[in-house]
């Protein structure tokens, strides 16, 4: 059950709007790196992220099975591998939208006291990822 990461490429962020029934895509100038997480040779999820200084900012984690299907061990393993791919990273950050929560005091990173309200920002020092 080893986790592997594969770089999928870099893609631009776009805003979408509809004008006269037509979808207009406008690049924002922001780019995301996309990585696949595989487990036993099956693609389980895709992580989109940005490197901002010494912080990896997670834009999204999309799983084939939906929210919470990867589990904390796989997410921690993927984050440890990502830190190896981006030397100099000291923090991982993102916006928690759904997924694992236990009594409002645990995250997919580990046990420490941060708010776990859906939609709240999360930033963690990579040394705390076990």
CATH code assigned at 17: 3.40.630
Q: Please report which confidence band the pLDDT of residue 88 belongs to, taking 50, 70 and 90 as the band edges.
A: very high
Give residue for tokens 């984050």: 79
Percent of the chain with pLDDT over 90: 14
Alpha carbon distance 9, 71 (integer Å): 25
Q: How many structural domains are present in the chain?
A: 1
Question: What backbone phi and psi angles, to 5 degrees, belong to 98?
Answer: -165, 175
Lowest mean pLDDT among 63-72, 101-110, 113-122: 101-110
Q: What is the pLDDT of residue 60?
A: 83
52 Cα distance to chain centroid: 14
Return the percent helix, strand and coil in the chain, to nearest 5.
Answer: 15, 50, 35
Alpha carbon distance 6, 36 (integer Å): 5
Q: Which residue range(s) make up the domain with 43?
A: 3-128
Q: Please report which confidence band the pLDDT of residue 110 belongs to, taking 50, 70 and 90 as the band edges.
A: very low
Q: What is the pLDDT of residue 106?
A: 41
CB under 8 Å to 65, separation ≥6 — which residues?
44
* More confident call, 8 vs 25: 8
Alpha carbon distance 63, 47 (integer Å): 9
Give residue for tokens 């990896």: 56
């Amino acid at each position: 059950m080893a986790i592997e990461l594969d770089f999928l490429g870099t893609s631009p962020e776009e805003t979408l709007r509809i004008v006269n029934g037509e979808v207009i895509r406008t690049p924002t100038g922001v780019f995301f790196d996309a990585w696949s997480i595989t487990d036993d040779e099956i693609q389980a999820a895709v992580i989109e992220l940005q490197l901002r200084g010494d912080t990896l900012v997670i834009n999204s984690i999309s799983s084939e099975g939906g929210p919470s299907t990867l589990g904390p061990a796989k997410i921690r393993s993927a984050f440890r591998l990502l830190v190896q791919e981006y030397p100099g990273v000291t923090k991982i950050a993102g916006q928690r939208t759904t997924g694992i929560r236990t009594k409002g005091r645990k995250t997919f990173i580990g046990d420490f006291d941060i708010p776990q309200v859906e939609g709240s920002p999360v930033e963690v020092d990579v040394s705390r990822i076990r």
